[in-house]
Structure 1
Amino acid sequence: MTGEELKALRERRGLTQTQMAAFVNEMTGRKYDKQRLSKWETGKEALPRDVLGRLMMMALEQPETTEPRQGTTIAVGLQKGGTAKTATSINLAFVLARAGNRVLLVDADPQGNATVHVGIPQADVVALTEAGKVLYHALMGKTRLADIILPTSVPGLDVVPSSIALASADTELPGNLTNAQTALAEILDGVKARYDVVVIDCAPNLGAVTINALTAADFVLVPCQAEPHAILGVSAFLDTVAKIQRRLNPRLAVLGILPTMFNPRQTQDRSSLDDIARLWGEERRVFPPVPRATIYAQAAGANVITLDADIGAPGVESYVAIAAALLRASGRLPEVVDAA
């Protein structure tokens, strides 16, 4: 967020610099004054990271509406592991929820990391699996999806939990000829009216569950680690997306590619980022890269959402840019936050 964007945000809310400083102080517990705000708006001082994160999410907020929720669905996927799909899914879901949207996070990965990282203890995941209340059971028609959705500690964010049981679905779904590729879309139809956005965290493969996720989605986001092997995987994944568009889901659109774990000091990372721009930059949107930062590993180790632990964490600009692009593409955001 530039100084001009900060000023525009303040003016849209009809606030003076003194009032905006008071508003920021209420959010952060700090003691900024009009003079400090003026320095931010003129670019003489950089916005503190925690203030930046909060204001960028605030800029995404839309006015209250009585219109029905759209349930816009985005799948986050790539068949290669270790490209920050789960971190992308949960942080994107967090940004959207903080901006006032009702969000459903669907954990479609048998590893169940998204479930744990939004606050569902591992012991509870085991109990939910034994009780038949994880995604596998809903996907196979053994329970209603609405009956397994759980709230999280983030206001506006719910989760469909997953566990290792979901691994069986990749072999069991193809045997169900009636809805082998559309099972997820069908069960989501029953709950989408309750949500503005559905975020699906896909497994690092192209199995039956991932095909279901792409068939259910309106958009797909491709996180790609800034390294050669991940880049090779993007081409194969986009080929699969093209097949899904032709055969199963013509409304599916690629929202963009997100470079992840980027270290600007590494020559290989810079070269890979250049390759991503060269290969797809003209026909696809390439979002600002999420830098490699220890806060992500620390948050994963503590089973929390990175931006919930540190709202100004490196990469917040990228997640806000993705959220803005998604809301704009679904017709919910007339004014776009440009975080690039």
Structure 2
Amino acid sequence: MTGEQLKALRERRGLTQTQMAAFVNELTGRKYDKQRLSKWETGKEALPRDVLGRLLLLDLERPESPLPRPGTTVAVGLQKGGTAKTATSINLAFILARAGNRVLLVDADPQGNATVHVGVPQTDVVALTEAGKVLYHALMGKTPLDAVIRPTGVEGLDVVPSSIALASADTELPGNLTNAQTALAEMLDGVRERYDVIVIDCAPNLGAVTINALTAADYVLVPCQAEPHAILGVSAFLDTVAKIQRRLNPRLEVLGILPTMVNPRQTQDRSSLEDIERLWGDSRRVFPPVPRATIYAQAAGANVITLDADIGAPGVESYAAIAAALLTAMGRLQETVDAA
């Protein structure tokens, strides 16, 4: 968020600099004054990270226009592993929920990492699997989806948990000729009215469950690690998306490409960012890159959402930009927020 964007946010709320400083103090528990706010707006000082994160959230909480389609669905996918798909899915879902949206996170990866990161203990995952209350059972028609959905510790955010049982769906779904490619879409149709946004964390493959996710989605977001093999994977993935658009889901759109785990001091990372811009910058939206930061590994180790642990974590600008682009496409924001 630039100083100009901060000023625009303040003016949209009809606040003076003194009033905005007081408002920021309420948000953060700090003691900033008009002079400090003025320095932020003029660019003489950088916004503190915790202030930045809270203001980016605030900028997403604007008056809504009528929602044209409830349960707008975004799939987060790439067939290569290790590109921060789960981190992207859970942090995007978190920031959307914190901005006042009703969000359903669907963990469509048999590894189930998104499930534990939003507050479902591993012991509960085992128990839910044994009780037939994970995504696999709902997807295969063995359990109603309502019996699977669980609340998380974040207000407005629910999750469809996953476990290793989902691995069987990739072989079982193709044998179900009646809805082999649309089972997930049909399953989600029953709950779309209850959610503003559905975020699907896809597995790192192009199996039957991932094809189902792309068939169910309105948008697809592609996280791409800043390294050559991931970039090659994006080209192949976009080819698959194009086939899905032609054959199964003509409404599917590419929301954008998100460079992840970027260290701007590394020559290879800078070169990869240039390659991403060169290859897709003219035809696709490339979101601000998420930097490589230890807090992501720490949050993963603690099974928590990074932005829930630290709203000013590096990368919050990227997730806010993605949320703004999605909400703008949905008609819920009147203008796009450029959080670069």
For this structure pair, what is the TM-score category when the shorter chain's length is used for normalisation? over 0.9
**Deviation larger for 7-16 or 292-301:** 7-16
Residue aligned with 1:200, SS:
strand
Residues 95, 320 of structure 1: 8 Å contact kept: yes
2:299 alignment partner in structure 1: 299
- RMSD of aligned alpha carbons: 1.2
TM-score (norm 2): 0.98
Residues 62, 100 of structure 1: 8 Å contact kept: no
Q: How does 1:5-154 map to 2 (within 5 A)?
A: 5-63=5-63, 70-154=70-154
Residue aligned with 2:291, SS:
coil
Residue aligned with 1:171, SS:
helix
Instruction: Find the aligned partners of 1:335 and 1:34 in 2 and give their Cα distance.
Output: 27
Q: How does 1:271-310 map to 2 (within 5 A)?
A: 271-310=271-310
Instruction: Find the aligned partners of 1:69 and 1:29 in 2 and give their Cα distance.
Output: 38
Q: Say yes or no: does 1:157 pair with 2:152.
A: no
Query: What's the CA shift for 1:20?
Result: 1.2
Amino acid at match of 1:40: W
**Structure 1 vs Structure 2: percent identity of aligned residues?**
89
Residues 170, 207 of structure 1: 8 Å contact kept: yes
2:226 alignment partner in structure 1: 226
Residues 78, 237 of structure 1: 8 Å contact kept: yes
Residue aligned with 1:74, SS:
strand
1:331 alignment partner in structure 2: 331
1:189 alignment partner in structure 2: 189
Instruction: Find the aligned partners of 1:39 and 1:96 in 2 and give their Cα distance.
Output: 29
Query: What's the CA shift for 1:181?
Result: 0.3
CA separation of 1:15/1:163 partners in 2, compared to 1, >3 Å: closer, same or farther?
same
Residues 65, 331 of structure 2: 8 Å contact kept: no
1:205 alignment partner in structure 2: 205
Instruction: Find the aligned partners of 1:138 and 1:238 in 2 and give their Cα distance.
Output: 28
Instruction: Find the aligned partners of 2:281 and 2:38 in 1 and give their Cα distance.
Output: 36
> Which runs of structure 1 show a deviation greater than 6 angstroms over 4 or more consecutive aligned residues?
none
Instruction: Find the aligned partners of 1:109 and 1:245 in 2 and give their Cα distance.
Output: 22
Query: What's the CA shift for 1:84?
Result: 0.2
Amino acid at match of 1:279: L
Residues 54, 311 of structure 1: 8 Å contact kept: yes
Residues 321, 339 of structure 1: 8 Å contact kept: yes
Amino acid at match of 1:116: V
Instruction: Find the aligned partners of 2:138 and 2:186 in 1 and give their Cα distance.
Output: 10
CA separation of 1:313/1:293 partners in 2, compared to 1, >3 Å: closer, same or farther?
same
Query: What's the CA shift for 1:290?
Result: 0.5
Residue aligned with 1:93, SS:
helix
Deviations 1:149-208 (A, max 9, x none): 111111111100000000000000001110000000001000011111100000000000
Query: What's the CA shift for 1:211?
Result: 0.2
Instruction: Find the aligned partners of 1:215 and 1:3 in 2 and give their Cα distance.
Output: 41
TM-score (norm 1): 0.98
Residue aligned with 1:6, SS:
helix
Instruction: Find the aligned partners of 1:79 and 1:65 in 2 and give their Cα distance.
Output: 35
1:238 alignment partner in structure 2: 238
1:258 alignment partner in structure 2: 258
Matched residue pairs, number? 340
Amino acid at match of 2:58: M
